[in-house]
Amino acid sequence: MQFMEAFMSKIVLVGAGGVIFAQNFLKDILTDPELRTHEVTLMDIDAGRLANAVAVAGLIAAKLGIRFTPHATTDLREALNGANYVITIFRSGTIRHQELEYEIPMKYGVDQVVSDTLGPGGIFRGLRTLKDLFEVLEVMEQECPGAYLLNYVNPMSMNTIALSRRARTVRVAGLCHSVQHTSRQIAEWTGTPYEKLRFLAAGVNHMAFLLKLEADGQDLYPKLRACLDRPEIYKKEKVRFEILRHFGYFPTESSGHNSEYLPYFRKRQDLIDRFCRNDFPEVDENGIDWNSMSAGVSGASVQICRGLQIRNEKQIAGYLDGSREIDLASSVEYGVQIIAAIEKNRPLAANLNVMNRGLIATLPPECCVEVPCLVDGGGIVPGRIEDFPEQLAAIDRGMVGAQILGAQGALDGDRRAIFHAIAADPNTQSKLGLDEIRSMTDELFDALADVIDPRFSR
């Protein structure tokens, strides 16, 4: 009797040479007895980094006592041919480009922390990232139509809008770990076992809110509000707790990020000193303060990214020379969990970034929202949020205008739309007049011309 060979899906990691982030996905795949039998391809444009990723994958497999030989290639088309799931985890450009996205706005008085999601830096990061993501999408349409594109690359909302508008058959979803990390923080702060925590989170990426927060049928918000009076907690997340104090709900991304999405915290130096000072510095031997970005210190992400580069290279070297052990604990990332839910038809609830289209009725249908989704053998089914608090919708509407305009500008190669996107940014609005915004935008176009779509040239 002959049996048909079971269908095996193809999973592709684009940007696998980053190794550390890819390592989480490789662990999640290889610790799953079913998924590790599927075809896995690692792709990166840097052959040396790619070789390191393959070596680390071999170490994980050896530690698990299994055989695993991923396909590795620097050729995007080869990697994507016949793929079912594509996870994008690459970085576009260099730290120097990131510095320019901070330094030029700061010269005009626009103070940023991370500049990867909103603001002048976030919009231009979107332009240089989408230049590469559009290439991935186009090759997917040709080589694996109908596949899932699971994107981790920021700016999440702007990228998701642009990719979703351009996609013809490819199914696009944006993935972030803000909700997972924040829910774990809240469990710790309130003394709640994580497995007992029940929450409903929705809004816009990096500015979603915990709409419901419970354990054992009891509302946990009173315990969370009590943290306003606990300096050891409040001072670590001053901006987020001020948002809770004044708007009634807790957001799902760090204070450093949130401080640059709103007009309230970075418009004057006294406000920056009050709400964005790092009260718990953690400086390593290289002079990197690891708590500076989460606290909201100006330009901290550039320093943190340099530190991560140093730390990651040491970590990879340690894995390869045997001086460092690989931890096989599963990650909190949704990427492989989504693939497993679809392949095994086992329900998964995950907060994903998708086009709104009525999911939150008080936000524009053409924006990107982060909402709970049901994932199973039928695919990804986003959930509709009823009665989204109006004060939260007002905050998120302040973000989505810039994101929609930025995505439209990226799609059309339209400099004017990019100017409008930056002019719509709440932090920029709090600091500059229109002539200043135009001059700043033109200077950013000139400085970053080598890494954005040539259509933007004057």
- The string of pLDDT tens digits covering residues 327-355 is 899 899 999 999 999 999 999 999 999 99
Task: Return d(Cα 203, Cα 359) in angstroms, integer.
Answer: 10
User: Tokens at residue 254, please?
Assistant: 């760090």
pTM over 0.85: yes
Looking up tokens 């709409």 gives 211
Q: Is 351 labeled as ligand-binding?
A: no
Ramachandran angles phi, psi of 373, nearest 5°: -125, 145
- Helices 119-143 & 95-107 angle (0-180, nearest 10): 140
Task: Return d(Cα 447, Cα 217) in angstroms, integer.
Answer: 54
* CB neighbour burial string for 387-422, b if at least 16 within 10 angstroms, e if fewer: ebeeebbebbebbbbbbbbbbbbbbeebbebbbbbb
Q: Which amino acid is at 67?
A: R
pLDDT on residue 401: 97
Q: Which of 38, 71, 97, 177 is catalytic?
A: 177
Task: Return d(Cα 331, Cα 25) in angstroms, integer.
Answer: 8
pLDDT on residue 2: 36
Residue 305 within any structural domain of the chain: no
Task: Return d(Cα 27, Cα 42) in angstroms, integer.
Answer: 14
Q: Is 257 labeled as ligand-binding?
A: no
Residue 344 within any structural domain of the chain: yes
Residue 440 within any structural domain of the chain: yes
- How many C-beta atoms surround the C-beta of residue 286 within 10 A? 10
pLDDT on residue 458: 66
- Residue 251 DSSP class: B
Residue 162 within any structural domain of the chain: no
Q: Any idea what the CATH number is for the domain that residue 447 is in?
A: 3.90.1820.10
pLDDT on residue 3: 34
Residues 6+ apart with CB under 8 A from 232: none
Ordered per-residue pLDDT tens for the chain, 458 residues: 333 345 689 999 999 998 778 889 999 999 999 999 999 999 999 999 999 999 999 999 999 999 999 999 999 999 999 999 999 999 999 999 999 999 999 999 999 999 999 999 999 999 999 999 999 999 999 999 999 999 999 999 999 999 999 999 999 999 999 999 999 999 999 999 999 999 999 999 999 999 999 999 999 999 999 999 999 999 999 999 999 999 999 999 999 999 999 999 999 999 999 999 999 999 988 888 999 999 999 999 999 999 888 888 898 999 999 999 988 998 999 999 999 999 999 999 999 999 999 999 999 999 999 999 999 999 999 999 999 999 999 999 999 999 999 999 999 999 999 999 999 999 999 999 999 999 999 999 999 999 999 999 86
Question: Would strands 39-43 and 10-14 be described as parallel, antiparallel, or unpaired?
Answer: parallel
pLDDT on residue 278: 95
Residue 102 within any structural domain of the chain: no
Residue 107 within any structural domain of the chain: no
Domain span at 350: 177-286+293-298+333-451
Q: Could you tell me the CA-to-CA distances from 288 to 53, 262, 273, 282, 305 in Å, in that order?
A: 26, 27, 20, 8, 10
- Residue 219 DSSP class: E
Q: Is 176 labeled as ligand-binding?
A: yes
CA nearest to 130, candidates 169, 90, 94: 90
Residue 338 within any structural domain of the chain: yes
How many domains is the chain partitioned into structurally? 1
Residue 348 within any structural domain of the chain: yes
Known active-site residue 177: yes
Contact in structure between 361 and 388 (CB atoms under 8 Å): yes
- Residue 252 DSSP class: S
pLDDT on residue 1: 32
Contact in structure between 377 and 219 (CB atoms under 8 Å): no
Q: Which amino acid is at 428?
A: T
**HSE-CB of 112 using CA atoms within 13 angstroms:** 27
Task: Return d(Cα 241, Cα 103) in angstroms, integer.
Answer: 29
Task: Return d(Cα 123, Cα 116) in angstroms, integer.
Answer: 8
Angle, CA of 387, 393 and 397, to the nearest 5°: 150
CA nearest to 36, candidates 16, 64, 17: 64
